[in-house]
Structure 1
Amino acid sequence: MPRSVNAVASRRRRKKILKLARGYYGSRSKVYTIAKNTVEKGLQYAYRDRKAKKREFRALWIQRINAGARHHGLSYSQFMGKLTKSGIGLNRKVLADLAMNEPAAFKAIVEAVK
């Protein structure tokens, strides 16, 4: 009896990997075994960097808030401490946006906190 091979499933599996590898350089997008390694590594980076992205944005917001607060004579930690005590419930994302794009509104918040 001849050996039974599920060629349809094998081809579909390979096509899926090669489709994910489109745009890679040279054999990374053409040869299945090399493309498979590259795609797996790329997916690992994607998983890791989805987490890192959140850290990077938080750090950026903190830098922007710090710059805005220092412009009005407070450090970041002083500003955030007073913000918490005053009961203003704005998150860092909104505060950073105000500090960058709406300096007058950010100044009003700083004055309310002082």
Structure 2
Amino acid sequence: MSRVKSGKVTHARHRKVIAKAAGYYAARSTNFKTATQAVDKAQQYATRDRKARKRQFRQLWIARINAAVRLFDPAFTYSRLIDGLNKAGIVVDRKVLADLAVREPEAFNAIAAQAKAAMAAA
């Protein structure tokens, strides 16, 4: 049986890994074995952090909404606002609420007033 060399395939695979490792420090960007380890670890972090980013943004939105609600009425809290919105039948997600709280406080206060009225009525 004749010998098979995989020069083109191996070189292409190495080049692909080295391209992903561009910008890494020292041998991590040039040495295939080290670059492979660095790229694999980077992909693990990327996979994990896609989930973490969603959690962090939700925390940020909740903090902004809570701060805006406290400005509207110091006795009114985030959890009471969400309960009031549910009772009033207002369907607005936290991302939009946080954006309203930052960019359009008057609109946010109007929504909060409706939620507070729904809490009092229930």
User: Is TM (by shorter chain) over 0.5?
Assistant: yes
Q: Residue in 2 aligned with 1:35? A: 35
Please state how far the C-alpha of 1:87 moved relative to its aligned partner: 0.4
Q: Residue in 1 aligned with 2:102? A: 100
Please state how far the C-alpha of 1:4 moved relative to its aligned partner: 1.1
Alpha-carbon separation, structure 1, partners of 2:94 and 2:58: 7
Alpha-carbon separation, structure 2, partners of 1:48 and 1:91: 24
Question: In the TM superposition, what whole-angstrom CA distance separates every residue of 1:15-34 from its partner, at most 9, and x where no partner exists?
Answer: 00000000001111011100
Q: Residue in 2 aligned with 1:6? A: 6
Q: How many correspondences in the alignment? A: 114
**RMSD across aligned positions (CA):** 0.9
> Quick one: percent identity of the two aligned structures?
47
> What's the TM-score once normalised by structure 1's chain length?
0.96
Q: Residue in 1 aligned with 2:46? A: 46
Please state how far the C-alpha of 1:2 moved relative to its aligned partner: 5.0
Gaps of 5+ in 1: none
The amino acid of 1:69's aligned partner reads: V
2:56 aligned with 1:56: yes
The amino acid of 2:50's aligned partner reads: R
Please point out which of 78, 82, 85 is paired with 2:84: 82
Question: In the TM superposition, what whole-angstrom CA distance separates every residue of 1:43-89 from its partner, at most 9, and x where no partner exists?
Answer: 00001101111001001000000001111121000111001100000
Task: Classify the secondary structure of the residue corresponding to 2:45.
Answer: helix
> What's the TM-score once normalised by structure 2's chain length?
0.90
